[in-house]
Chains A and B, each alone.
Chain A
C-alpha cells in the first residue's frame, strides 16, 4: 500500500458516511421493518405492539380477491402498454431518425409529454375522456364521433377504464422510449446497411435483418424498464378512476395505500410490498439473463 492509498482509505469513511447513512435510515431500515411487520399483526395505529403471526398476512393476501384483482389489473395494464409502447416508440424513432434538423421539432413534440408531470396529465386526460354531459363533451368523444362511434363514458365503463388509462400512459411515456431507441439506432452499423443495400435488400428486409437484430439490447432494456414502470401504476387510477369501476382499475400500489390508510392493516401492506419487491427482482433477473445471452 502506498502512502496515498493509506491516506485515501482513512478518508473513505467520511466520504461514504452521508450517503450510506441516509440509505440505511430511509431505505434499508424501512425494508427491514417491513419484512418484520409482514409476519406480525401490526396496524397503523399501534406499530410497536406487533405480534408474530407467521405467514398469515401472506396467505390472507393470496386469498383476498381485491389483492388478486389489483395484481391482475396491474399485470393487464403492463401487458397492454409494454408491447404497444415499445413498438410505437420504435416506429416513431425510425420515423424521426433523419439527419435534417427539421426533424428535430418532431422529436421534441413526441418528447413533450414526458416533461409534464403525471398528476397534471392525469387530470387533463380525465377531462379529455369526459362523455357528453349537459352539452359538454370531452375531446376524445368528439374525435371518435367524427368517425361515427357512439359517445362513451371511457373511465366509468368497466371494460374500457383500464385500456383508457393504458392509452393515456402510452401517450405520456412513448417519447422517452423513442429517445432510447434513437440512441440505440446510432449503434447500427452503417457498413452492414450499405452492404445489404448493395445486395439488393429492400428497406423492409434491411429493417428486419439488420436494424432490429442490432437493437436487441435496446429492446430488452425498454421492455424491462416499461414493465417495472407499469407495475408502479398509482397516479392514473388514484386521480382518474379512484380504482373503479368495480375495482377494475385498482392497482397494486393503490391497494397497498388503501390497506394501510383506510383499513389500517400495516402487516398486510408490508407483505404485499415484499411480494412486489420479489416480483421486480425477478423481472430484473430476467433482463440480466437476456443481456448475458447476447454477450456469450
Chain B
C-alpha cells in the first residue's frame, strides 16, 4: 500500500522535474530561437511576437539572407574564415605533434628544461601579447593582401604550448615496445612517428582539432588587428561591420549571425564529445 503511494509520488515528482526542465530549456534557448526566427522576419516584424504577425505570411521573408550575404561579402568572408581555421588546424597538428613526439621520445640533455619553458607559455592569454604580436606580424610583412593576411591570421597560432603538452602526455602513454620493435626492423624515427605513434593517438588529435576550431572560429581581437582590408575580413568581422555601420538592418544582422554559426553547428556532436575529453584529461588530473 505505502509502496504504491510512494510510486505515485515519484511519478508526480518526475513529471514536475520534466516540466521544469522543459521550461528552463526553452528559456535558455530563447536567445538562439529568437535569432533564428528574427532572421526570417521582415524588418518591422522582428520585435513583434504577437500571434497575428506570426501567422501573417507578409511578415516572413528570406531576403535578409541575400542582403546579408551581399552587404557583408559573406562569400569571401566565409572562405577566409574557413581557410584560417583549416590552416591553423592542419599546420598546428603537424608542428605540435612533431614537437610533442620529440619531448616524449627523443630525450636529449636539456630537453626537460626546454619542455618546462614551453609549459610556462600555456597560461599566456593571447590578449596580453596581441599588440606586440601585431608589430612582429607587421614587420614580417604578414598584413596587407589576401595571402600575407591569411599567413598573419594563421602562422602565429599554429604552434601552441598547450597542444604540445597535451599530445606529449598521450605519446608518453603509448607502450614503448611497439616503437623499439620497429627500430629493429630498420624503420627510422620519422617512420616511427608517422606510421606508429601518430595513428595511435587519433582521439587526442581529434580533441586538439575540436579545441582549435572552437577557439579560432570565434577569433575577434586578432582579425580586428590584422585583417582590416575588405578582402581579408573574417565572418566575425563582417558581422561586426554590419552591426556597427549604418544603415543598421536587424534582419540582415540576424541572418549573418545564423550563417556565421552554421559551420560550427555542423560539427556540434563532435565538438561536445571531444571537449569533455580534454577537460577531464587536463584540468582535473
Do A and B interact with each other, yes or no? yes
| Chain A residues with a Cβ under 8 A of chain B | 4-5, 7-9, 11-12, 15-16, 18-23, 25-31, 33-34, 37, 47, 95, 106, 108-121, 123-128, 130, 135-139, 142, 171, 176, 179-180, 182-184, 187, 217-218, 221-222, 225, 228, 231-232, 234-235, 238-239, 253, 256-257, 260, 266, 269-270, 273, 276-277, 280-281, 284
Nearest A residue to B269 via CB reads A108
Nearest A residue to B267 via CB reads A115
15 A-B pairs whose Cβ atoms sit less than 8 Å apart in the complex: A7-B188, A16-B114, A19-B96, A26-B155, A27-B161, A47-B135, A115-B265, A119-B236, A123-B243, A127-B250, A142-B49, A184-B284, A239-B240, A239-B244, A277-B124
Q: Are A270 and B220 in contact (CB under 8 A)?
A: no
Q: Are A106 and B21 in contact (CB under 8 A)?
A: yes
Bound Cα distance from A225 to B275, whole angstroms:
15
Query: Which B residues, 240 to 268, have Cβ-Cβ distances below 8 Å to chain A?
Result: 240, 243-244, 250, 253-254, 257, 260-261, 264-265, 267-268
- A115 — which chain B residues lie within 8 A by C-beta? 214, 261, 264-265, 267-268, 271-272
Q: Are B221 and A19 in contact (CB under 8 A)?
A: no
The one of B106, B244, B275 in contact with A179, judged by C-beta atoms closer than 8 angstroms, is B275
- A135 — which chain B residues lie within 8 A by C-beta? 47
Q: Are B133 and A253 in contact (CB under 8 A)?
A: no
- B236 — which chain A residues lie within 8 A by C-beta? 117, 119-120
Known: A12-B102, A116-B32, A120-B260. A25 touches B131 (CB 8 A): no
- A232 — which chain B residues lie within 8 A by C-beta? 125, 127
- A30 — which chain B residues lie within 8 A by C-beta? 129, 132-133, 135-136
Nearest A residue to B81 via CB reads A117
Q: Are B21 and A9 in contact (CB under 8 A)?
A: no
Q: Are B131 and A257 in contact (CB under 8 A)?
A: yes
Known: A22-B159, A119-B236. A218 touches B284 (CB 8 A): yes
Known: A22-B95, A116-B264, A179-B279. A11 touches B21 (CB 8 A): no
Report A94 CB to chain B, min CB distance, Å: 12
The one of B32, B239, B264, B272 in contact with A119, judged by C-beta atoms closer than 8 angstroms, is B239
Known: A11-B189, A123-B243, A273-B128. A257 touches B29 (CB 8 A): no
Nearest B residue to A8 via CB reads B106
Q: Are A171 and B28 in contact (CB under 8 A)?
A: yes
Report A141 CB to chain B, min CB distance, Å: 10
Bound Cα distance from A179 to B279, whole angstroms:
8
Count of chain A to chain B residue pairs whose CB atoms are closer than 8 Å in the complex: 237
Bound Cα distance from A137 to B127, whole angstroms:
35
Report A75 CB to chain B, min CB distance, Å: 16
Q: Are A217 and B136 in contact (CB under 8 A)?
A: no
Interface residue B107 (Cβ < 8 Å from any Cβ of A): yes
Nearest B residue to A182 via CB reads B276
Interface residue B31 (Cβ < 8 Å from any Cβ of A): yes
Q: Are B99 and A16 in contact (CB under 8 A)?
A: yes
Contact with A along B109-128 (1 / 0, CB 8 A): 00100100010010111011
Nearest B residue to A102 via CB reads B18
The one of A22, A136, A217, A284 in contact with B284, judged by C-beta atoms closer than 8 angstroms, is A217
Nearest A residue to B192 via CB reads A8
Bound Cα distance from A137 to B48, whole angstroms:
8
Size of B's binding interface in residues, CB under 8 A: 84
Q: Are A33 and B135 in contact (CB under 8 A)?
A: yes
Q: Are A139 and B34 in contact (CB under 8 A)?
A: yes
- B267 — which chain A residues lie within 8 A by C-beta? 115
Known: A11-B106, A20-B99, A270-B132. A183 touches B279 (CB 8 A): yes
The one of B31, B127, B136, B284 in contact with A33, judged by C-beta atoms closer than 8 angstroms, is B136
Given A15-B99, A22-B156, list of 17 further CB < 8 A pairs?
A: A15-B101, A23-B121, A26-B159, A47-B135, A95-B21, A106-B25, A112-B29, A112-B268, A127-B254, A142-B49, A179-B279, A187-B284, A232-B125, A235-B221, A239-B240, A269-B131, A270-B132
Report B278 CB to chain A, min CB distance, Å: 10
- B32 — which chain A residues lie within 8 A by C-beta? 112-113, 116, 124
- B136 — which chain A residues lie within 8 A by C-beta? 25-26, 29-30, 33
Q: Are A280 and B279 in contact (CB under 8 A)?
A: no
Contact with A along B7-34 (1 / 0, CB 8 A): 0000000000000010001001111101
Q: Are B218 and A234 in contact (CB under 8 A)?
A: no
Bound Cα distance from A281 to B121, whole angstroms:
10
The one of A16, A19, A234 in contact with B220, judged by C-beta atoms closer than 8 angstroms, is A234
Bound Cα distance from A28 to B118, whole angstroms:
10
The one of B38, B98, B137, B161 in contact with A16, judged by C-beta atoms closer than 8 angstroms, is B98
Interface residue B230 (Cβ < 8 Å from any Cβ of A): no
Nearest B residue to A18 via CB reads B95
- A136 — which chain B residues lie within 8 A by C-beta? 46-47
Report A70 CB to chain B, min CB distance, Å: 13
Residue in B29, B32, B129, B218 whose Cβ sees the most chain A Cβ within 10 Å: B129
Report B115 CB to chain A, min CB distance, Å: 10
Bound Cα distance from A46 to B168, whole angstroms:
42
Q: Are B123 and A280 in contact (CB under 8 A)?
A: yes
